[in-house]
A and B are shown apart, each in its own frame.
Chain A
Amino acid sequence: MSSTDADPPAKSLPPAPLVALAAWLIPGAGYVLIGQVGRGITVGVTILAMFVAGLLIGGIRVIDSPWIESPAQRAEREVKERNGAPRPSAVQAVLQKPWFIGQMLAGPVALVANKVGVTWERPTARATSADDDVAITGAGQGAPFSHARVYELGTLYTAVAGMLNLLAIIDSAYRASNRGNR
């Protein structure tokens, strides 16, 4: 029987919480930890491919966390708060961007992508003056948002990747507590 089959080696398996944590950190790693390497690679590669495909389809700003802001977003929020706008609670903040719940389930890769998205500055135009060749950027805006249909699809791809990873997290943790069987 190959390692890609369901029955794991009859040895002690890591505790379920550790398997669940590994499965969140690296999609598919939970299965690898319990000896189901083929299943882990298939699940991990497919989930990560879907996540990256989502970023390619909609742009990196499809990952939009309620807490990670670009400098421009932070400045805008601070101005609103100074003008008396109430700061939303944690629950309200999440409900304003519910897709992030699914995206975050794909692992730290979502947080890294979000951080890159808000800090990535690409020159949009170049100064023509010879003594000022500093690139003009959308200062502090990060990568641009889109309102196109493909942006929605990118969001869908990344959120579905995260939710499929949740399925894999629960399944691998359950298998770890059940000697590798479902």
Chain B
Amino acid sequence: MTPIAAYTPFWNPLPVWDYWYTLLIPLSLGISIVYKSVKCHHMRQVPREATIIFLTILIGMIAAAAALMGLTRLLEWR
């Protein structure tokens, strides 16, 4: 039986062992929407503001991951 066929919602963890980091994307999106819904004066500002902060978080995480990968490679090389 494949892992996805054996998956029972709420009982087993989601079988995304090799792609777990992609689950950070919806998490960032949710945080962006709620944070900007609380923060913005008018709700019509929320889609634009949430998109900006979502992309900022995403780019920040990618930059941090790239920097840490570069540092690891550098330490391995030395």
Contacts and interface: CB of A to CB of B under 8 A. Distances in A.
A42 B33 contact: yes
B17 A59 contact: no
A56 B26 contact: no
Contacts of A171: 38
Contacts of A59: 10-13
Interface in A9-65: 38-39, 42-43, 46-47, 49-50, 53, 55-60
Contacts, number: 93
Given A57-B14, A59-B12, A182 B41 contact: yes
Interface residues of A, number: 38
Interface stretch (A69-77, A92-100, A140-148): A140-148
Given A4-B43, A39-B43, A53-B26, A149 B10 contact: no
Interface residues of B, number: 28
Nearest to B27: A157
A5 to B, nearest CB: 5
A2 to B, nearest CB: 8
B31 interface: yes
A153 B13 CA distance: 10
Contact of B8 (A43, A122, A154): A122
Contact of B30 (A38, A46, A143, A153): A46
Nearest to B15: A150
7 contacts: A43-B34, A46-B33, A50-B26, A146-B13, A161-B30, A167-B35, A168-B34
Interface of B: 8-17, 20, 23-24, 26-27, 30-31, 33-35, 37-38, 40-44, 46
